[in-house]
Amino acid sequence: MFDTVLIANRGEIALRIVRACRELGVTSVAVYSDADAHAPHVREADRAVRLGPAPSTESYLRADLLIAAAQRTGAQAIHPGYGFLAEREHFARAVRDARLVFIGPPPEAIAAMGSKTEARRLAIAAGVPVVPGTTESLRDAREAREIAERFGFPVLLKAAAGGGGKGMRVVREAADLASSLDAARREAKNAFGDDAVYVEKYISGPRHVEIQVLGDAHGTMLSLGERECSVQRRHQKMIEEAPSIAVAPDLRRRMGETAVRAAQAAGYVNAGTCEFLLDAEGSFYFLEMNTRLQVEHPVTELVTGIDIVQWQIRIAAGDKLPFRQDEIAPNGWAIECRITSEDPANGFLPATGRISYLRLPGGPGVRWDGGIGAGSEVGLHYDPMLAKLIVHAPTRDAAIARMHRALLELTIQGVETSRDFHLRVMEDDEFRRGAIDIQWLERRLSSLTNVAAPPEGEMAAVIAAALLAEQERLRRVPPASGLAPNGTPAAGDDRAAWRLAARRDGLVEG
Ligand code: ADP
């Protein structure tokens, strides 16, 4: 095992990796930009190295500084987390060239899966079903039109180098093709420095179901089962769960075998994820492979009992996986909500501020993977994801009830967050029934975020909540030193409680 690992990341994922290192008895080295000098991941790591100024191009994206920091601190390996340099072939290669271990797949596997068109070619060659479409990038709008007419509209234009939903355009009719192609190309060029765009058939109303794989350097490649990530806004995941309500054991086995085949075809080692679209008929299509740890890995950890981050480190150190495929089956249900500094009532506008008060949920089956503390400054330099709230319970219904309870306990003051939005999703009938697909949230969004004008019958509950909040504020005594204050719940909490009371009394329908 390594003595020391450098963590080339920040926020919640850096802290997650610090925790894995500590449990393995490995010394962790954090890195930070000037904006993060007092961040929790820096405080919690055994050692910390300053990289540079706040912009990530001058800090977290500087491969040279990261490698120098690893060498200076005697680290033998670098964990890239997700985002930043995690899926950059050049970084994995530079780490290897510096005689350090990259905790992730070999650079060749990152390259093979790095381009969507190449990944599609590789998948097709391995007998993995892909969404109908091309494997070559488009020459011009005329070619796009010919292909689109062959598959039938709507089609999806996608950047070959794409990621994070960028460079994607749905095209519903031929007349829009030329302008959409221009727009997709421009966006791709800006985001990835590569304007190659190809076409896929646009699948209507599928679920996003992905398979976590884990492979060692001794030839074992396992599927850890599926996660459903259909609750998306602008192709970005907001809530994830494991298992999926749409996946029965036989489908789980077939999707798992397919993902393992795709990973093996790429010469994959370590943790990775194959993303699929699953249609209403139970057919699934490979989208892409993410060659890194995913944000949503905790839901898989909770239902399988396998610590993916610890295994990433152990696999990189040469350990053999001790599990057999037939021993891995989901136990219970796990749900994750991404807590972001975005204002749902305001079109999910990124919010900034200083976290003045933070009350974390606890109790049975609750996990908080966060990168913030009271006093943290939330700026615009980095991703708006502050933390992940994850719950585990015996059934999906129980997990939803637990998440709702945990969200009520969570209080973040000083910056707008997505917390109230998640509460409303947990209360939503369609979500509770599992009647979701990747377009579900966009259809439902206005009713889930429209807090400005509460329905008439709710007005009394709103006023009562405001009065209660005021009363709480007046009653609050300064906390004894060293004890966490029992904070005033945000107005949202009280409103939910009053709404429940009103429902019980028959004042409000629902
Ligand atoms: P990115 O790498 O930019 O995240 P993906 O290929 O993973 O792009 O797709 C992101 C999301 O876009 C998917 O989760 C799904 O919601 C949607 N999507 C992708 N391809 C299709 C398709 N062919 N039809 C319908 N929706 C799609």
Indicate which residue of 16, 169, 207, 292 is catalytic.
292
Average pLDDT rounded to a whole number, residues 61-88: 98
Residue 229 in any domain: the answer is yes
The answer, yes or no, to whether residue 290 has pLDDT greater than 50, is: yes
Do residue 226 and residue 368 come from a single domain? yes
Indicate the top mutation candidate among 277, 284, 296, 436 to test ligand 1's pocket, ranked by most ligand atoms within 8 A of CB.
277
Give residue 13's identity as a one-letter amino acid code. Answer: I
Q: Is the pLDDT of residue 482 over 50?
A: no
Looking at the fold, whether 290 and 390 belong to one and the same domain comes out as yes
Partnered with residue 210 across adjacent β-strands are 227, 275
* Biggest distance spanned by C-alpha atoms of the chain: 72
- Among residues 172, 201, 230, the one where a domain terminates is 201
DSSP state of 43: H
- Answer yes or no: do 318 and 390 share one domain: yes
CA-to-CA dists, residue 67 to 39, 92, 291, 427, angstroms: 21, 11, 20, 47
**Smallest CA separation from ligand 1 atom 1, residue:** 163
Q: Are residues 337 and 262 in the same domain?
A: yes
- Count of structural domains within the chain: 4
Alpha-carbon dihedral sign for residues 375, 379, 382, 385: positive
Q: Give the per-residue pLDDT at 455.
A: 47
Q: 61 and 18, same structural domain?
A: yes
Q: What average pLDDT score do residues 60-86 get?
A: 98
Distance, CA of 380 to CA of 60 (rounded, Å): 15
- Ligand 1 centroid to Cα of residue 469, in Å, is 42
Does residue 251 lie within any of the structural domains?
Answer: yes
| Tokens, residue 242 | 């494991």
Residue 159's alpha-carbon distances to 87, 115, 124, 288, 348, in angstroms, are 16, 9, 19, 12, 24
95 — phi, psi (to 5°)?
Answer: -65, -45
Tell the residue nearest (CA) to atom 21 of ligand 1: 202
Task: Write out the two tokens for 213.
Answer: 């794989």
201, 219, 238 — which closes off a domain?
201
**What atom in ligand 1 is closest to the CA of residue 166?**
3
Q: What's phi and psi for 7, nearest 5 deg?
A: -105, 110
Separation CA 22–CA 324 (nearest Å): 26
Is 33 domain-assigned?
yes
Strands (E), 234-321: 236-242, 270-278, 284-290
**Pocket residues: Cβ below 6 A from ligand 1:** 131, 156, 162-166, 200-203, 208, 232, 235, 275, 277, 287-288, 438
The atom of ligand 1 lying closest to the CA of 285 is: 23
Reported as a pLDDT band with limits 50, 70 and 90, residue 465 is low
Whether residue 467 is found in the same domain as residue 444: no
235 CA to middle of ligand 1, Å? 6
**Which pLDDT does position 487 carry in this prediction?**
35
Within a domain: 408: yes
Question: Which pLDDT score, from 0 to 100, does residue 262 have?
Answer: 98
| Test site for ligand 1: of 153, 168, 171, most ligand atoms within 8 A of the Cβ | 168
Let me know if 400 is exposed, middle or buried by CB neighbors in 10 A (0-12, 13-18, 19+): buried
Within a domain: residue 272?
yes
Q: Is residue 381 located within the same domain as residue 479? A: no
In this prediction, residue 349 carries a pLDDT of 95
Which residue range(s) make up the domain with 184?
A: 132-201
Instruction: Identify the CATH number of the domain in which residue 343 sits.
Output: 3.30.470.20
N- to C-terminal Cα separation, the chain = 56
Which atom of ligand 1 is nearest to 208's Cα? Answer: 14
Q: Retrieve residue 437's tokens.
A: 């697909």
Cα separation, 172 vs 184, in Å, equals: 15
Based on the fold, state whether residues 305 and 238 are members of the same structural domain: yes
Q: What is the rounded distance in angstroms from the CA atom of residue 60 to the CA atom of residue 224?
A: 30
pLDDT in tens, 144-175: 999 999 989 999 999 999 887 888 999 999 99
Q: Which residues of 228-265 are buried (b: 16+ CB within 10 A; e: fewer)?
A: bbbbbbeeebbbbbbbbebbeeebbeebbebbbbbbeb
**Quick one: 292 exposed, middle or buried, by C-beta within 10 A (0-12, 13-18, 19+)?**
buried
Closest atom of ligand 1 relative to the 439 alpha carbon: 16
Residue closest to 428 by CA, chosen among 416, 445, 411: 445
CA 438 to centroid of ligand 1, rounded, Å:
9
- Cis omega before residue 243 (within 30°)? yes
Which CATH number is 25's domain given?
3.40.50.20
Mean pLDDT of 485-489: 36
Residue where a domain stops, chosen among 201, 236, 260: 201
Q: What is the pLDDT of residue 495?
A: 45
Confidence check: pLDDT of 509 > 60: no
Look at residue 165 in the predicted model and tell me its pLDDT: 80
Whole-number Å distance between alpha carbons of 288 and 235: 14
| Confidence (pLDDT) at 46 | 98
Q: Which atom of ligand 1 is nearest to the CA of 202?
A: 24
Pair (45, 152) in one structural domain: no
Q: Which atom belonging to ligand 1 lies closest to the Cα atom of 200?
A: 23
Active site residue 432: no
Among 166-175, 274-283, 409-418, 452-461, which is the least confidently predicted range?
452-461
Predicted confidence at residue 450, as pLDDT, reads: 73
Residue nearest to atom 22 of ligand 1 (CA): 202
Same domain for 330 and 249: yes
Whether residues 385 and 404 fall in one domain: yes
List, for residues 418-457, the tens digit of each pLDDT value. Answer: 999 999 999 999 999 999 999 999 999 988 887 544 444 4
d(CA 426, CA 442): 16
Distance in Å, CA 187 to ligand 1 centroid: 16
Q: What CATH number does the domain containing 159 carry?
A: 3.30.1490.20
Residue 345 inside a domain? The answer is yes
Centre of ligand 1 to C-alpha 91, Å, is 26
Residue 66 lies in a domain: yes
In this structure, the answer to whether residues 170 and 293 fall within a common structural domain is no
**Of all residues in the chain, what percent carry a pLDDT higher than 70?**
88
- C-beta of residue 82 within 8 angstroms of C-beta of residue 294: yes
210-269 confidence digits (pLDDT tens): 999 999 999 999 999 999 999 999 889 999 999 999 999 999 999 999 999 999 999 999
- If one residue of 235, 275, 437 were mutated to test the ligand 1 pocket, choosing by the most ligand atoms within 8 A of its CB, it would be 235
Report the alpha-carbon distance of residue 276 to residue 401 in Å, rounded: 28
Residue 498 has pLDDT above 50, yes or no: no
pTM of the model: 0.88
The answer to whether residue 127 is domain-embedded is: no
| Sequential DSSP letters for 359-390 | E---STTEEEEE---TT-EE-SSS-SEEEEEE
Indicate the pairing of strand 27-33 with strand 4-7: parallel
Nearest alpha carbon, ligand 1 atom 12: 235
Between the CA of 320 and the centroid of ligand 1 the distance, in Å, is 34
CA of 127 to the centre of ligand 1 (A): 20
Residues present in the chain in total: 510
